[in-house]
Structure 1
């Protein structure tokens, strides 16, 4: 069978707004926004598709749980989107009719005073979440919502880091990559005003824009990890105090090291595996 999975709309939702890797967003009958874990109807789908969907749904549950934990830790603040209610599988927010900052910028002319205000709003929002141990995993214009008074509010903490919990999403290098929309030019304009040494790291050196490469004075190339190095990194994560029992033998560890991953990918893999394993009380090979 080759059916496609269908996204299930939560009870009380009237209209679909957006879909992301962490969850789906709908509008309800009260004019609020519901952000819910991904749930699909997999009737008629192949076994491979069903397994993939289940994996996506488990990651979505982790991300939504993380966002709920972050909102519990954060105080209410005018520069952070208010969470009106949390439920087992969802969060409820006020509806911002003007949309996100990226879309608003593309369709409206903005004077310099408003732009300056947005910079201050963004700084305030990031400062307050950092004060409570939260590191946003995806700072982007699309994750600032425009309020009716044209102030902006930071949103979407799914997958972000808090305290000792690592982020659940990987870093992105799109700012430095070849792109038709001028992000590199903006980055270089700011870089020209910078005095000092700037360290940039990337796992995608082949995709860097030529303008960026021309300004790099020293490049350090790290070779891909070999099998023994990957096994050692996996072993280090398994030996850390992760507060749950570890049930992974050496043969299974060797099998994990066969997969071509870099250190950052191994770190993310183990972080997510540990969170999934928490429900079972022990970390097993199948969690990874």
Structure 2
């Protein structure tokens, strides 16, 4: 049996139903594309269709920001196949890093800084009229010294554009219905609840509903059963207020994180 022809020739960083993210070894950028091509040959094709043109538009709207992964724009990688070229993380996915280092978390002051950077990114999106609609540490990357930048705006939509909201938040980050239909819950309420879940994950150094199977998570969310926040977590009250829909803007959350025990955030 022949071996994998891609081993040593390409690095794959992530796969979704609509795209694969990969690069050649040593490159400082990655390609996000519906297909993986190497030396003129296709090795992978994603089963569902996405919109890289939409995502490219959103990166253009956002421009350069220290908390947003840099985009170099669209390029053709094969006849009829377009990819989005993006900055490559020096460390990798925040969720993956947390899971791989769960027994050795950084000191709380560094985790608070990470939460502040993540919140800074979300607040910036909202200032630019962008609703992320897929807030998650899966869509955030670590760079040198565990500084955060966010990416993946395939599910996002923008004020003034006719982008349709696509399926977004993972079950761990979904806001409980609390007697409402999902269509009745404002997008900003969903965003800020999910932001609280990201702050929880980074500061607690574990995913919400840690260790619970997916079907049970869905039932817990439906029943409004939230994860336990450690009593000694400095961001405990902020997370709780996010989860109980006490905020109107990410800017307020950013301000409170920045003001909370400022020496810990250095």
Q: Find the counterpart in structure 2 of residue 167 from structure 1.
A: 165
Secondary structure, aligned partner of 2:55: helix
Unaligned runs of 5+ in 1: 1-8, 41-52, 200-288
Q: Find the counterpart in structure 1 of residue 127 from structure 2.
A: 131
Match of 2:15 among 16, 19, 27: 19
Q: More relative contact order in 1 or in 2 (CA 8 Å, sep 6+)?
A: 2
Is 1:101 aligned to 2:119, yes or no? no
Aligned length in residues: 172
How many Å apart are 1:167 and its aligned residue? Answer: 1.7
Point out 4+ residue stretches in structure 1 off by more than 6 angstroms.
182-186
Q: C-alpha distance in 1, partners of 2:132/2:241?
A: 24
What aligned pairs does 1:37-186 form with structure 2 within 5 A after superposition?
Answer: 37-38=34-35, 56-57=47-48, 59-60=49-50, 62=51, 64-88=52-76, 89-108=82-101, 109-163=105-159, 164=161, 165-175=163-173, 179-181=209-211
Structure ranking higher in strand proportion: 2
Match of 2:29 among 15, 29, 32: 32
Q: Find the counterpart in structure 2 of residue 260 from structure 1.
A: none
How many Å apart are 1:195 and its aligned residue? Answer: 10
Q: C-alpha distance in 1, partners of 2:242/2:136?
A: 25
**Comparing 138-147 with 183-192, which one deviates more in the overlay?**
183-192
Q: C-alpha distance in 2, partners of 1:34/1:196?
A: 35
> Per the alignment, do residues 107 and 83 of structure 1 end up closer, same or farther by CA in structure 2, a change over 3 Å counting?
same
How many Å apart are 1:187 and its aligned residue? Answer: 3.6
Unaligned runs of 5+ in 2: 1-5, 38-44, 77-81, 177-207, 230-235, 247-266
How many Å apart are 1:170 and its aligned residue? Answer: 4.2
**Comparing 112-121 with 20-29, which one deviates more in the overlay?**
20-29
Q: Find the counterpart in structure 2 of residue 285 from structure 1.
A: none
Whether the 8 Å contact between 2:68 and 2:149 is mirrored in structure 1 is yes
Q: C-alpha distance in 1, partners of 2:242/2:135?
A: 24
> Per the alignment, do residues 107 and 14 of structure 1 end up closer, same or farther by CA in structure 2, a change over 3 Å counting?
closer
TM-score by length of 1: 0.51
Which digits, 9 at most, give the CA deviation of each residue in 1:90-138, with x for residues without a partner? 1112221311111111233211111111111011101111111111121
Whether the 8 Å contact between 1:143 and 1:156 is mirrored in structure 2 is yes
Secondary structure, aligned partner of 2:92: coil
